[in-house]
Structure 1
């Protein structure tokens, strides 16, 4: 990644809907150069896709929580099975396999706290591999719109 690649990635993270011509103009490069660079970034796996950011409240999901989950037995098969199960639930936004005291962090978004309780009781507590879970309601969260590369 050189400075131009980094600038392209930064600009596309800010606004992926801009035209190639607008992107090239913002970076001060030729549109053909810009298009080739974007294609290269996609081929190299730096740019993995384009998404629309949505308002969870508008989707009737104003309550968010992080679920800390421990599973047993610890095996690749059990980890992969639980990961696939969790991400398949409609309330789940993200699943993280983590090290430390917990095995997973599961990010959920639901309409209300009672729905969160139902998810915990009906979808997690009955799973044979789940030995423990805790929930932490998220009051606020912020995320970076632009992720910059770090120096090696």
Structure 2
């Protein structure tokens, strides 16, 4: 069984959440431990699966994707057996930034980023709504969001 996450581990996680490139020296100084202890703690968090990956956060607008939306999707009742394959379909869409398989009146929510409202309309119509397993979609434009 994995040891519990303590205050030092939580502090390390918070620092890395803000900037995954923070140096070990800066982490150690911030949490008041030696650099070797910070390194050992970080390695332990990775080995235990607490930290799954170090990644980046893209700026959609800098990539020319000025329109972001959340698309809620409900699957047809006769397509319930296809939920997992439909989830993979959504994850593999290049426009999808985040995909969630959820409980409730809808089955999925997909955060997408595209160049324009027209591209969003075409994406929803051509890639999502036209899929044979889809019963309905609802699209909400994102005006702003934080990380």
Equivalent residue in structure 1 for 2:49, among 32, 45, 52: 45
Answering whether residue 118 of structure 2 is matched by residue 108 of structure 1, we say: no
Answering whether residue 10 of structure 2 is matched by residue 6 of structure 1, we say: yes
Q: CA RMSD in A?
A: 1.3
Number of equivalent positions: 142
Q: After superposing the two structures, state which structure 1 stretch, 112-121 or 133-142, moved more.
A: 133-142
- TM-score scaled by length of structure 2: 0.90
Checking the alignment, whether the CA contact within 8 Å between 2:72 and 2:109 is kept in structure 1 is yes
Answering whether residue 120 of structure 2 is matched by residue 131 of structure 1, we say: no
In structure 2, what is the Cα distance between the partners aligned to 1:117 and 1:16? 35
Answering whether residue 21 of structure 2 is matched by residue 20 of structure 1, we say: no
- TM-score scaled by length of structure 1: 0.88
Unaligned segments of structure 1, at least 5 residues: 144-152
Answering whether residue 91 of structure 2 is matched by residue 80 of structure 1, we say: no
Unaligned segments of structure 2, at least 5 residues: none
